[in-house]
Structure 1
Amino acid sequence: MQIFFYGAKALANISLAATVVAVLFLTLQFRGKLPTIEGAAEYSTNSTHGHESISSKTSYECINPYAQPGFIWMETRNTIDNTTWVPFYSGLLDEQFSQIWDTKGKPVDKVVDNTRYFLNNLPPDDLLKNAPTQWFQLLRQYKNVSDAVATENRAGRKMESAEALRELKKQLYWVRNRSLLVVGDSADETLVSHFCNSLAGALDYDPRNSSETSIVTCNIREWNLTITHWQLGCVGLNCSSSAVETPESVDQKWDRYFVPTSDSVVGKNGVSPDLVIFQLGLWSEQFFVNQYMEYVHRKSMDYSRTLNFKELVLYTRLLRRTISKLRDLYGHKVPILYRTVALKNNLEQDIAALNLDSVARYACRELDIETIDFGWIVRGYYSFYRDDVNIDEGPLSALWANMAFWYLFRSQGGVEVRGDLVRMPDMDKTTVDAWNMCHDTFMKDLKIRS
């Protein structure tokens, strides 16, 4: 796993030859994570790539690394790559303490321009080997190597980059023709935009809906990989309390804008997106805050107020209506995740958002919807925001992409346990039951944790 944290940043800064060597080395190392494939000269798009197909009798351990206690490791605060969630492991309490202070209590570090810095050492191998695969970084590496191959072809040269490209294709074959639907607000749209920009994808905005809602589509044409964002919350400049969503207005917006375009987000299985991630917290919170401000005739909004019971009940209605709409469109087999709400970057307490997130966790638990804990994991990282609600491009947006693709990988039949890719997706099947094979276990764990 250690090799995942090197190479991507250097690709843009060093010579082409060194770049190709570094990426080839990384991809060859990555193959060690895959189950061995003897005698496979090339992979086709319609195969399991030599791996066992998943059946109801297959036994494996269901472990979600993003639901485990851990920490975000990043090389620097400005890097897009070299960021991952590192789960703790059972041997952590037995780790030997490494000295970071001398006998006089002064830190053992380095001095640069008279400023002291602690070294940001890579976590130990025993910790890193449990970290989930960085699919986002592999996609970025594929793009960089593909550009290198194109440069070599124009120059009439053949170098090791062509081999590196083949290796990356073998690792990433399963993302081809996939479709991810993200339902939320501008915070989600921003994360989709960051992902698309970092891979030089085609980002298309539907101009017809700019005053009431928005539909944004990112297409990575090399893979026919599509991420679509539907914004349910307020979009226009005049976002008064009457403009923010209620369950009834969701019906109107859904039928007018999303149903006509619903076929465009159908994925490999031919009937639904391969994965849906949704959250409705920020504009619902704005609705309640605005209503309260008007009710008590205040001049400023108060996010520190604890929401009352009826407000929470109304929010659960909105959640249930949205989930019902998704089920009506795509059936009950489509995997759906609730994304936990990230708190706002402001000087006030954000108690209202905490209230909504808490009731949403409960409602989704009762409605058999799993949770992607991105909002919970990044709480407190406010210096990585670009404004009060939107996360800037960098380590946190890279983490979101890695998390989304971990769940997408699982939805296609992939199995990763403690950093080991024990089974790759089966491309011959239009429907895969792998999601349900671990779903009950993860829902049971969610009920215990909550």
Structure 2
Amino acid sequence: MGLRRGATSSVVRVVAIVFVMVSLYALYVALDEQAREERLRSLEAFVTDSYRTVFSKAECQEVQAETSNGTDMCVDGYRRSGYLFIPSEEQYTRTRYIPFYESQFQIAGESEDDSDPPYARYPSAKDPELVETGIETDFMAMAPHSWMWDLNAYYEFVNKSEETTAPAQRVYNRLDWLRNKRILLMGDSVDRYMMIYLCNELGKQGNAEPMGRHVWAYCKLPELNLTINHWHVASLYTTRPSWWWQPKMEFVPFEERFEKLFKSTLPEVIGSNGRSPDLVMYQSGLWDQVTFTKYFQAVKNKGLSTGDRQASWQELRFFMARMRQLIEHTRGIFGEDVPMLYRTLTLHKSVGAKDLFLEDLDRGARYVSAESGVEMFEWGKLVTGFSSLYVDEVHPKRGPMSWLYGNMLLSYLFRASGGIEYEGQIVQWPRESTFGSAAEAWEQCHSAYIDHSIR
């Protein structure tokens, strides 16, 4: 399905351009003269997104009228094949994932494809010119919306301003759907790092260890009353064995960690519906690999006491059973309809034989999650191989990968709030009636997103 571009849309676009230009000028005159040039350059991408979103609002009714229901617009750009665009590590805030759509290519047996670049034509009298010239506008326009730009703009124009300007107020209103939201991340330090990096992008520190090491962490954005919480899952093991390599960790099974540690944090975790977070994302894998390795070292099984191997069949069966129990336990706390995502596993900085184990666990977790009606958060696959963007052997550093993580997380929260984005266009904005009903909003496209594919 393509978006129609009728006369009404053209008028709206013109109005939108005028709107953005006036807003940009207002910002320009309000800034100190020495800072104007740098600030305008930094706002270029945000203004482009603002323009696209403004006219998308006006087209919502037209787009929705083209479908008998919302199913045709249930397309998750982050789960399509595509290209991760990173202009440079220094310009990481321009990082975007660019999905591939049928409308961008014509591959259905055409004798001559007009969508092919001229340097890919055959026969050719000269070598192809493969100099980097950037991403074509048509491709970039269909990239998922950059919510991290919006959040940065919010803090630039509202939180740090002595008085609220008209453009700042529009940014403020634009993020109304983010207010009073709660996100819960259940996993290891990779997610905790990404959460803290998101906080840092907005001038906040976050709190990584308010209850001690490897327990609970959070990032609070009080201006929006938005809180991201992190519960540390210390593998899916069922006991706290004597050989446990973290001597100060008293509780290991997630059931015990909830009762003894996490339960007291529920007032911070539960959202405006009074019973659950607005979005839950979970994963386990890196700690499980270490746990299984330590177990076989303890029982002196030399063949399985190394991490540079595949998971054994018994290890995988154990892991998959416990992953299903983690999902059931989480729903037992927050309700069967709480919006949930499985965050695909990241591999090590130096990808090698030790990652065979993680690949086995990830495929097992994907299957269990899909069978349990949970959707995929594909960030783990998108970061694989970018070894220069890691801060150590297991953690991607602040930069392109953390920026991508933030954009993806906010994109799924947008959907859980009642919003729908289609091919880079916001075709349904959250309504006040859906702000506190994440489960109902999530169901709009949920059935279309359950995926059993092997990635």
Q: Secondary structure of 2:446's match?
A: helix
With 178-187 and 98-107 compared, the bigger mean Cα shift is at 98-107
Residue 70 of structure 2 corresponds to residue 66 of structure 1: no
2:268 aligned partner: 264
With 178-187 and 88-97 compared, the bigger mean Cα shift is at 88-97
The alignment's TM-score, normalised by the length of structure 1, stands at: 0.79
Shift of 1:167: 2.2
Structure 1's 75 and 145: CA in aligned 2 closer, same or farther, altered over 3 A?
farther
Shift of 1:130: 1.6
Q: Secondary structure of 2:230's match?
A: strand
1:262–1:329 CA contact under 8 A, matched in 2 = no
Counterparts in 2 of 1:39-438, with a 5 A limit? 60-90=72-102, 91-93=104-106, 94=113, 95-99=115-119, 105=127, 109=131, 119=132, 121-146=133-158, 149-150=161-162, 153=163, 162-210=165-213, 213-233=214-234, 242-243=244-245, 249-296=253-300, 302-346=306-350, 348-349=352-353, 350-429=355-434, 430-432=436-438, 433-438=440-445
Q: Distance in 1 between matches of 2:159 and 2:265?
A: 33
Q: Secondary structure of 2:211's match?
A: helix
The alignment's TM-score, normalised by the length of structure 2, stands at: 0.78
Shift of 1:384: 0.6
1:156 aligned partner: none
Letter in 1 for 2:393: D
Structure 1's 108 and 276: CA in aligned 2 closer, same or farther, altered over 3 A?
closer
Task: Encode CA deviations 1:230-262: one digit per residue, 9 max, x unaligned.
Answer: 11127xxx9985358999722211110111212
Report how many residues are paired. 401
Q: Secondary structure of 1:66's match?
A: helix
Q: Distance in 2 between matches of 1:294 and 1:320?
A: 27
Shift of 1:124: 1.2
Shift of 1:329: 1.4
Counterparts in 2 of 1:27-42, with a 5 A limit? 27=47, 30-34=50-54
Task: Encode CA deviations 1:150-204: one digit per residue, 9 max, x unaligned.
Answer: 3xx5xxxxxxx82321221232111111111100001111000100111112512
Q: Secondary structure of 1:200's match?
A: coil
Q: Distance in 2 between matches of 1:34 and 1:239?
A: 57
2:210–2:217 CA contact under 8 A, matched in 1 = no
Letter in 1 for 2:357: A
Task: Encode CA deviations 1:293-327: one digit per residue, 9 max, x unaligned.
Answer: 44456599633311111111111132122212211
Q: Distance in 2 between matches of 1:249 and 1:233?
A: 7
Question: How large is the Cα RMSD of the aligned pairs?
Answer: 3.5
1:182–1:188 CA contact under 8 A, matched in 2 = yes
2:93–2:400 CA contact under 8 A, matched in 1 = yes
1:158 aligned partner: none
Q: Distance in 1 between matches of 2:153 and 2:389?
A: 24
1:293–1:299 CA contact under 8 A, matched in 2 = no
Task: Encode CA deviations 1:118-168: one digit per residue, 9 max, x unaligned.
Answer: x3x331122122211010121112212236633xx5xxxxxxx82321221
Q: Secondary structure of 1:149's match?
A: coil
1:157 aligned partner: none
Structure 1's 13 and 206: CA in aligned 2 closer, same or farther, altered over 3 A?
farther
Q: Percent identity?
A: 26
Shift of 1:273: 0.5
Structure 1's 278 and 135: CA in aligned 2 closer, same or farther, altered over 3 A?
same
Unaligned runs of 5+ in 1: 39-47, 110-118, 154-160
Structure 1's 417 and 139: CA in aligned 2 closer, same or farther, altered over 3 A?
same
2:36 aligned partner: 17
Letter in 2 for 1:256: K
Shift of 1:345: 1.4
Shift of 1:286: 1.1
1:136–1:402 CA contact under 8 A, matched in 2 = yes
1:24–1:164 CA contact under 8 A, matched in 2 = no
1:41 aligned partner: none
Q: Secondary structure of 1:316's match?
A: helix
Q: Distance in 2 between matches of 1:97 and 1:57?
A: 36
Shift of 1:205: 3.6
Letter in 2 for 1:92: F
Structure 1's 243 and 203: CA in aligned 2 closer, same or farther, altered over 3 A?
same
Task: Encode CA deviations 1:49-105: one digit per residue, 9 max, x unaligned.
Answer: xx99xxx96565210101100011122123331011100121334423254999775
Unaligned runs of 5+ in 2: 1-16, 18-23, 25-30, 107-112
Choose between structure 1 and 2: higher helix proportion. Answer: 2
Q: Secondary structure of 1:208's match?
A: coil
1:201–1:221 CA contact under 8 A, matched in 2 = no
